[in-house]
Amino acid sequence: QSVLTQPPSVSAAPGQMVTISCSGSYSNIGYNYISWYQQLPGTAPKLLIYQNDERPSGIPDRFSGSKSGTSATLGITGLQTGDEADYYCGTWDSSLYIWVFGGGTKLTVL
């Protein structure tokens, strides 16, 4: 059971938009910055979003992040087949003194 809660899967058609939610508590999402990661099959996780809504250089603006209270959302617009991957949210938990992740969401682009 992960500390952060994500839907196991989401799907949408190419060109459409999808959102992935991440729910936590005050000690993690509520108090700290959230990051989002994309993991393509057989590869290492790749940072998509940090500090709630910032994109590292090289990440297209089709990817966006937001946070409200103890929840966060990753948005992906203009879906491409290459976006099919597992997506994880992660943040520090100030009560547990550990870095926590969501269980991951598998994105299918139909």
Partner 1 sequence: EVQLLESGGGMVQPGGSLRLSCGASGFTFPTFDISWVRQAPGKGLEWVSVITSGHNTYYLDSVKGRFTISRDNSQNTVYLQMNSLRAEDTAVYYCVSRETPTSPDHWGQGTLVTVSS
> Which residues of the shown chain bind partner 1 in the complex (CB under 8 A)?
2, 32-33, 35, 37, 44-47, 50-51, 54, 56, 86, 88, 90, 92, 97-104
- Residue 26 CA: distances (Å) to CA of 4, 32, 40, 52, 96: 11, 9, 30, 15, 12
Between 58 and 82, CB nearer to partner 1: 58
Query: Residue 88 forms beta bridges with which residues?
Result: 37
CB of 12 to partner 1, least distance (A): 22
Between 56 and 60, CB nearer to partner 1: 56
Q: Strand (E) positions, the chain?
A: 9-12, 18-23, 35-39, 46-49, 63-68, 71-76, 85-93, 98-101, 105-109
Between 27 and 37, CB nearer to partner 1: 37
